[in-house]
Amino acid sequence: MLAVLQRVSEARVKVDGQVVGEIGAGLLVLVCAERGDTEAHAQRLLAKLLKLRIFSDAAGKMNLSVQDVGGGLLVVSQFTLAADVSGGNRPSFTNAAPPDEGRRLYERFVELARAAHPVVQTGIFAADMKVALVNDGPVTIPMTVR
């Protein structure tokens, strides 16, 4: 699975002009299932991002996790993370999981996140979403779990 984490002071996602998910400080998690990904990949991705020390401690050093600071998670599906641009100017998305499998793994990821973390908001799978955020730092971390 692929993810891009953005440490945010706030983030929200709108669908058809309506806010469907919103957090204050925490992580915006853009997530993509690729062909061949399994629930085990989703579990490893979640475990890693919950413990990733990318929040500042009292000394200003990135030494705390989202769990340590009590931050929220805004989880948004984004199949375009699987883009392959090696063949030309038009991206190929053949590495992305088929829609049904992508939805199943995204929903499982969200279910696992909600069981492990107190504040989890989401976008809507396959919807045309408008995501707004204030990147804190900025801190942006790409992650791949195989």
Q: Residue 68 has what pLDDT?
A: 98
Instruction: Judge contact between 55 and 6, C-beta under 8 A.
Output: no
43 is catalytic: no
Catalytic residue among 6, 38, 67, 78: 78
Each residue's pLDDT tens digit, 96-132:
999 999 999 999 999 999 999 999 999 999 999 999 9
144 is catalytic: no
79 is catalytic: yes
pTM exceeds cut of 0.85: yes
Question: What domains sit in the chain, N to C, each tagged with a CATH number?
Answer: 2-140 (3.50.80.10)
Catalytic residue among 38, 80, 94, 144: 80
Token pair listed for 57: 């401690």
Each residue's pLDDT tens digit, 51-80:
999 999 999 999 999 999 999 999 999 999
Catalytic residue among 6, 55, 79, 121: 79
The residue type at 43: Q
What sign for the dihedral angle of Cα 56, 40, 23, 76? positive
